[in-house]
Amino acid sequence: MLLVSAADEYMGFCITSHLLQLGKLSKYMRILCKTNTKRSILKHQFKEKRMEIWPVDHDDTNQLSLAMRNVDVLVMAIGNESKRVEECLQLSQVATQSGVRSIVLVSHIGASQSCRALDDYAKIEADMIKQCIDTETSYVILKLDMIQQYFHLLSVQIEATKSIRLPLKPSASICPISIHDVCHTIESLITDQQGELMNEILPEHKGQLYCLTGPSAINSEDVLTYLTESTGYQEYTNMLIRPMEMRYYLQNLHHDVWFDARIKAEKANTPEYGSIVYDAPTDTFINSHVDYFEWVNSTNGSFVTPHVEFITSRTPMSLRTFFHTYANEFKPRV
């Protein structure tokens, strides 16, 4: 049995959507969501799938223990809720004590004590590793660079201002990865060559830490180039903004009527998971996102790793391809 956590959060939702497309896994899948989740999209998207949806209270160890029954592999997606550290620590503890054989932890690059929100990921990683070592549970950690699909959140601003505004200094670079490549990596770790669910990750992946990045390092000028190429609009400008300006924009995004209309359309139609914004960003997401750019600026950027291609035997999607695929979202509003 496969268990995916935080299915009512963006990352868990995308992972679940991808794995269900494989067909063979649905009858072996179980997903966790909160008992008070407001995400009706879960039932709309998954109602016809042969899979178990378990609403749980993460403070109730009995509920978590029941959810772990017969589970061999746990894909632990770290969400963006305010208590994500406590909930993930509880989840990993119950999983290792319940006989789960393997844990795939979906974490974030740049985990550091100097960046408070990103430090959440470091705490979760350290605790999970300790729990797994103590119980001889196998694990693998995936540290993600920025998700390319987070640019969907900027589409409202780009359409309205005809500019790309990032808190990214000219000398720094980022290596954004497509959510599709993240999901393909997880698929490769938990399924065999026939697409069947394995009851444990392969020995060569046990205890490994992989940094998942896009195929190239890009700067803000590259983003401007890809945006111009994909939309055909030549008047876009590139603006360096302060982190607090990015924070202010994301905090007020839910007030925008165009963004609100997009969310409602997604809930009604459930489009392909790579094209969605899913929901308005939470304070925890905003803090992590802003901290990521501060980490990049302080280290002069992230760097490309071959881990996606090593695990999946496929070249990851470039940011240029992302903008060409979703060009209509970023065209100026007239």
Phi-psi region of 195 (alpha: psi -120 to 50; beta: other; left: phi over 0): left
Chain mean pLDDT for the chain = 92
Q: Residue 172: which pLDDT band, with cuts at 50, 70 and 90?
A: very high
Q: Is 38 a residue whose pLDDT tops 60? A: no
Structure tokens at 306: 């071959």
Which of the four pLDDT bands, split at 50, 70 and 90, describes residue 52?
A: confident
Please report which confidence band the pLDDT of residue 3 belongs to, taking 50, 70 and 90 as the band edges. Answer: very high
Residues 6+ apart with CB under 8 A from 330: 155, 158, 159, 227, 230, 231, 323
Count other Cβ atoms within 10 Å, centred on residue 48: 8
Residue 24 has pLDDT above 60, yes or no: yes
pLDDT at 113 (0 to 100): 61
Phi and psi, residue 173, nearest 5°: -135, 155
Q: Which of these, 176, 180, 144, lies nearest to 18 by C-alpha position?
A: 180
Confidence of residue 39 (pLDDT cuts 50, 70, 90): low
Is pLDDT at 43 greater than 60 in this prediction?
Answer: no
Q: What one-letter code names the amino acid at 127?
A: D
Q: How confident is the model at residue 44 (pLDDT cuts 50, 70, 90)?
A: low
Q: What percent of the chain has pLDDT over 70?
A: 95
**Alpha-carbon dihedral sign for residues 80, 82, 86, 87:** negative
Residue 294 pLDDT grade (very low, low, confident, very high; cuts 50, 70, 90):
very high
Mean pLDDT confidence for 56-79: 95
Task: Compute the distance between CA of residue 304 and CA of residue 314 in angstroms, rounded to an integer.
Answer: 15
Length in residues, the chain: 334
| Rounded (10°) angle between helices 283-299 and 116-135 | 100
